[in-house]
Structure 1
Amino acid sequence: MPPDRQPRTTRIVRVRTGCWTCRRRKKKCDEVRPICGGCSRNELGCSWPTTIPGRRNSGPENESAIVSADGRRFSLPDTVDEHEAIKFSTSPSSRRQSSVSSNGSPSVSASDEPDELAPMNESIDRRHSTGGSSDISLIQRAPFGNVVPRTMSMLPGYDPESYQLLSHYLSTTADCMANGSTPINPFLVQIVPLAFSSDLLLQLVITQSAAHRAFRRRDDTDAVAHSHYSKAIKLFRHGVTEFIEGKEPNPLMLLVGALLMCFTETAKGDMTGTIFDHLSAANTLLVKLLAQSDTAVPRELKDFVIEYYSYTATVSMISIDARLSGQLFLNLELEQRARELLQTQYVGNLCGCWLELLLLIPCIFDLGRQWMMEDTPAIVPTADDMAMFASIQAQILRWSPYPFVVAEVYLAGLIFQQAMLIYLYTSLGSYEHTTDGIYNGLIQTAVTEAMAYLLELSPEARINSGLCWPIAVVGSCLVKPEQQECLRTRLVAMATHFGLGNMQRTLLLLEVMWQLPQTEAGPWNICRTMQQKQIWISFA
């Protein structure tokens, strides 16, 4: 041992007769009462114990009591301990000097704090010396344990803005995407856990939230939303490349990513038809996923993915011109897997209780496509065509919502049923018919029924988030101004409440169709209106 450093032989004796403020600040107290020199110099509240430590007193109550300079009395835990809690949670210098003792409680190093560094403690002490009892109650009620972190420590690489967008997704976007048919929201319980295991999905969740928030603010130039969207597209393309090259054998993350991209377009109100590119990618990925063992993916997640894709694919088909394309996003294999859900009376947050009706859309599309492939007069239907038409009509009329669903879901199911009848009946539009004949009578009856059901349903009910498709089908056949105004008011209220771009885009499309002659209206002309006005949207 060096000669200039001798072992300490005497024990350090700490002064135990100073005021509580100096003890807490690790300062030497000159013990001048009622306000010591240190507290006077730093304009701090000077509090003293009622008894000299070491002297016996009447009871334990006095040992934890403090008397301030003005004679007020309050308990030790409400002052020193809570001041320390504030100090540890707010002061950067105290965080640097703090450590954890063996029993798990924080301890402070012996290094003294300069007098000029008294961040929140001194300001609180000033309240003691100048404020009344209300100031003390404010201290006692302060939420010390609920301090928002400065950085996203749980999400390394993401900035605080991303943290806010994730919060927006959890509190708002996920609610607007699901229609509330079940108490469990799969956009939370299925998507979020996956997102925390995949950088791609987490970025897509944040992107969807950014797009949704931007539309709610009516800000088409939102730089944050555009930045996240660009980043998401790059990540998704990179993931597709790795999958093609065989570096990523599991298609689940990419599949969910493609579906999230579809609903990001829904949130922002896709006007360019980008959603159809995402659907094509999702189709291939879903086929590969279903080829894997059922044990590879949890059953609930696989059911939701099948519902997610089936819903998005079927309601998007109305945007395809049947005269020019026979593209079916739902092939027989995928349709069969979706029909397996019907055996369990499946109710989902996208398809509600009307999945059986949605699965008829490809059949109607294929039937109508055969009758309108060319602009020339349609040929006479074959016996098979008439039998198919009658079979589909019977299935729609025979269908009814599950009796156990809530009233709003039940009503939405009836609205879909009438929209399906309209979609089926108008597939015969290329054939000759009279203005006041039974054909027009069937269409107008279905329109009237659908509008009556819509009036029973509040435009702010969550189930509306899945009603753009039937509203577009019904709205394309409206000829009465009062009916058009009713639907216009409803869509404005829905877009304002939910903040989903597709609702506003649906109204934009209908406003154009309501200016057309009646012969150019109807759901089979929605795609043509989209082509002419360059309004490419999906009704997912």
Structure 2
Amino acid sequence: MYQSRAKLRTRTGCLRCRQRRKKCDETQPRCANCTRINLICKWPSGNEPHDGRRGKRCQKNGSDDSIQSPLCLSIVKQPSSPIMPAPFNKEEYCYLYHQFISTILPRLVRKSSIDQTYMLCLAPDYPPLMGAMISVAGMQIAPRPTWSVDCAIQSYLYTIAWLQKSIMVKKSTENDDSLLATVILLSVFEACRLDMAPNVAPHTTASGYLLSQRQSQLSKRFTTTSTAIFDLICIESFIYHASLMMLFEPDLDILSSIRQRLDIPLYFSHAKERDIALPVQPILQTSYKFFLLIADATKLARISRHLIDAERILWFHYWRELSEWNQVDHADDKSIELYYVALQILLLKKAPDMSQQEQTLRLSECLQRGLKMFGSLAPELYAPSYLLWPLAILGSISIFEEERKVTNSHINSLIQSRRGGQALWVQKRLERVWDVTKFRESYSISDMRLHGLQLLLDAS
């Protein structure tokens, strides 16, 4: 039942007080009632009805339109909130924060195996982290109304400006969890934004630098489960972005420069020593070593000239390592098999002493196998952009019309499911590659496929 206007105690004041039928003292930005019971004030705009009926109609209809305008958000039932730090103490930001907690975070970190509360507790006291959370949510919620994208961009710019000021102060960052979580989420935001090409490299490089400063503190931090799990989330998120986004950003090569300083195995050995239960990894689909191989293979495949002797030795080492991964049972996650196929393609590009005929046959087999595999996967089970990595590689070596149609249909499935992050951008990039690599009788199939892959790796 909806309350009639006659039963309302006032038609003025904040929307919270009107909903609760309380007399409002009309103190802005936060009235006394909302301050007392820790609610966020929502004030009517100039074109909003004074009796709040517009909001009630939004609630009554129960349609998706009810969240298309931030004016209606005061009616959407939300769980209890922390006091949102300025400038995020507005209803639309609060709504996006709750979307991050309930919908976005479980996609980024496996809900079944990880306690996520530690990072959430940091946000109310550190506005840049709150801004990073809101920016990720605003870019990923479905449906994606214009106002949420605007909030995402504004929050992102606010966070960047804050971090720039912090750098000027030259504050010690050796053990700053809030700063590290913020930079990690900025990488997530860049990987899923739709308005421009990804710019993950600066944030991923910064997160790698911050992680490299924490090595002396690791043993102390692993005395509590919450900080240990937080550090594992951060190191795995860094490896995820630093390895996969190399394909799309040629300048991103932070792993090779700081891998030794990070001492990645320590994160996992400390967890075992402290009996910290980790049924599954928080971010990565399989061992971090597989993702380090992805980074190594991507860097080697980017070389356009013939390999020198030292690089040939590396190629054979990577090929043996990849063959060992093929012997591991991944029946519980078929995406690893898809990644295996994409890695094969990368290494086949620089295969020493392989005949063109064999190279052509192997590339074609990998392409057909990979495209078939992709159709059996459920995009909603994976983090944003995760499936784009192997799909981009498969698409780059597609030279026949039927192959490209299948690739495009898979990209469209990611776009429609809103799980593809930069799917639209990758689609456009592949179209540019395809414009150059249309099949011609005067060129060999192998040369055309490898030329498309080189164009992708060069970000052409």
TM-score > 0.5 by shorter chain: yes
- 2: distance between equivalents of 1:347 and 1:424? 29
* Aligned twin of 1:224: 151
- Cα distance 1:272–1:453, how it changes in 2: closer, same or farther (>3 A)? closer
**Higher relative contact order at CA 8 Å, sep ≥6: structure 1 or structure 2?**
1
In structure 1, the residue matched to 2:193 is 268
Partner of 2:210: 285
Matches of 2:79 and 2:342 in 1, distance apart? 51
Equivalences for residues 319-334 of structure 1 within 5 A: 319-321=248-250, 327-330=253-256, 331-333=258-260
Measured against aligned partners, the alpha-carbon deviations of 1:360-406 in whole angstroms (never above 9, x if no partner) come to 1333245446x53xxxx636x42x44333222112112214865x77
**Alignment-mate amino acid for residue 173 of structure 1:** I
1:426 aligns with 2:349: yes
Q: 1 CA distance for matches of 2:99 and 2:434?
A: 36
Identify the residue that residue 173 of structure 1 maps to in structure 2. Answer: 104
After superposition, where does 1:43-442 map in structure 2 within 5 Å? Answer: 90-93=20-23, 154-157=83-86, 158-178=89-109, 183-184=112-113, 188-213=116-141, 216-217=143-144, 219=146, 222-242=149-169, 244-246=170-172, 250-269=175-194, 271-296=196-221, 298-321=227-250, 327-330=253-256, 331-333=258-260, 336-338=263-265, 341=268, 347-368=280-301, 371-372=303-304, 378=306, 381-382=308-309, 384-400=310-326, 403=329, 407=332, 410-428=333-351, 434=356, 437-442=357-362
Change (3 A) 1:296 1:240: farther
DSSP-derived class of the 1:196 partner: helix
Larger displacement relative to structure 2 (349-358 or 277-286): 349-358
How many angstroms apart in 2 are the aligned matches of 1:183 and 1:150?
Answer: 21
The Cα of 1:333 is off from its aligned counterpart by: 1.8
Deviation at 1:340, TM superposition (A): 6.0
Separation in 1, partners of 2:78, 2:402: 53
Q: Which residue of 1 aligns with 2:445?
A: none
Kindly report the root-mean-square deviation, in angstroms, between the aligned alpha carbons of the 2 structures.
3.9
Q: How much does 1:476 deviate?
A: 1.0
After TM superposition, give the deviation of residue 454 of structure 1 in Å: 1.2
Q: Report if the CA contact (8 A) 1:476-1:526 is conserved.
A: yes
Shift of 1:338: 4.8
Check if 1:492 corresponds to 2:412: yes
Q: Give, in angstroms, the shift of residue 433 of structure 1.
A: 5.4
Deviations 1:135-167 (A, max 9, x none): xxxxxxxxxxx9958996632531111111112
SS in 2 for 1:399: helix
**Distance (Å, rounded) in 2 between the aligned partners of 1:327 and 1:150:** 42
AA of the residue aligned to 2:350: S
Offset, 1:218: 6.8
Matched, 1:467 2:387: yes
Which whole-Å deviations, capped at 9, do the CAs of 1:198-228 have from their partners, x for residues lacking one?
2221121112212224x85374994333322
Structure 2: tracts of 5 or more residues without a match: 1-5, 8-16, 27-50, 52-74, 273-277, 438-447
Q: Determine if contact 2:397/2:449 at 8 Å carries over to the other structure.
A: no
| Secondary structure at 2:264 match in 1 | helix
Shift of 1:258: 1.1
The superposition leaves residues 241-282 of structure 1 with CA deviations (integer Å, 9 ceiling, x where unpaired) of 34x244x65333222211111111122137345321112212
Distance 1:334-1:503 versus aligned 2 partners, 3 A rule: farther
- Using the size of structure 1 for normalisation, the TM-score is 0.60
Question: For the structure 1 residues 235 and 521, does the alpha-carbon distance in structure 2 shift closer, same or farther, using more than 3 Å as the test?
Answer: same
What residue number does 1:56 align with? none
Secondary structure of the corresponding residue to residue 445 of structure 1: helix
Gap change, CA 1:347 and 1:254, over 3 Å in 2: same
Separation in structure 2 between the aligned mates of residue 260 and residue 196 of structure 1, nearest angstrom: 15
Change (3 A) 1:93 1:149: farther
Alpha-carbon separation, structure 1, partners of 2:370 and 2:287: 15
State the aligned residue count: 376
Q: How high is the sequence identity, in percent, across the aligned residues? A: 15
Q: CA deviation at 1:460?
A: 4.2
Report the residue type matching 2:313 in the other structure: A
Contact 1:495/1:503 (CA < 8 Å) preserved in 2? yes
Residue 476 of structure 1 is matched in structure 2 by: 396
Separation in 2, partners of 1:231, 1:326: 24
Larger radius of gyration: 1
* In structure 1, distance between residues paired with 2:83 and 2:331: 38
